[in-house]
């Protein structure tokens, strides 16, 4: 019994020591300064339902959190974005609300299966992007239930996903 307790303590001590290692951690102060600016690139969806160039304009950042605006080349819709960078440099941001609603989604009059494929909806999550000063690339997903009032397809499950790549301008 004592031997197994010693082994367990040894394993816990070893794992705690590795977690305390500062190697590979980012400096939030440095990243908060370098992420501000214009990032341009493209995104496409699985199955090629959606493909467009877009811009992420990071307007402010502090303590590994940032805010900004996304805009697209095929739409007048723009979004307010909020994001975070974790201590290991993984970036995640979400389009939280419309700044300008171009109406492609909210005014969609096509059949519900076509309207579900419209990318310009709030809530898109961009994730799995490792931070670098010049490039971000990862995946995006849009999942949820349509709650737009006035559409006959209110309550339909939405699911779009794909890849994105941004370069700092």
Q: What is the pLDDT along the chain (169 residues), one digit of tens a residue?
A: 666 666 665 555 554 444 444 567 999 899 999 999 999 999 998 887 788 999 999 999 999 999 999 999 988 989 999 999 999 999 999 999 999 988 877 787 776 666 666 677 788 999 999 999 999 999 999 876 555 555 444 455 567 889 999 999 9
Question: What's the fold here for domain 26-168?
Answer: Lipocalin (2.40.128)
* pLDDT score for 119: 72
Q: Is the dihedral of CA 76, 126, 135, 65 positive or negative?
A: positive
* pLDDT score for 75: 87
Annotated domain spans of the chain = 26-168
* pLDDT score for 152: 45
* pLDDT score for 30: 92
* pLDDT score for 37: 97
Residue-wise over 39-56: b if at least 16 C-beta within 10 A, else e?
bbbebbbeeeebeeebbb
* pLDDT score for 19: 44
Q: HSE on the CB side for 15, CA within 13 Å?
A: 5
């Amino acid at each position: 019994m004592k031997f197994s307790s010693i082994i367990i303590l040894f394993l816990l001590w070893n794992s705690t020591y590795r977690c305390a290692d500062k190697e590979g951690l980012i400096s939030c102060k440095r990243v908060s300064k370098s992420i501000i600016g214009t990032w341009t690139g493209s995104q496409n969806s699985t199955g090629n339902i959606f493909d467009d160039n877009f811009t992420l304009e990071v307007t402010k950042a502090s303590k590994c959190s940032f805010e900004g605006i996304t805009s697209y080349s095929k739409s007048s819709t723009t979004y307010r974005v909020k994001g975070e960078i974790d201590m290991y440099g993984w970036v995640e941001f979400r389009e939280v609300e419309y700044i300008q609603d171009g109406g492609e989604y909210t005014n969609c009059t096509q059949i519900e299966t076509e309207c579900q494929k419209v990318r310009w909806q709030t809530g898109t999550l961009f994730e799995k992007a490792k931070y670098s000063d010049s490039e971000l690339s990862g995946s995006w997903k849009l999942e949820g239930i349509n709650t737009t009032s006035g559409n006959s397809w209110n309550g339909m499950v939405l699911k779009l996903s794909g890849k994105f790549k941004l370069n700092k301008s």
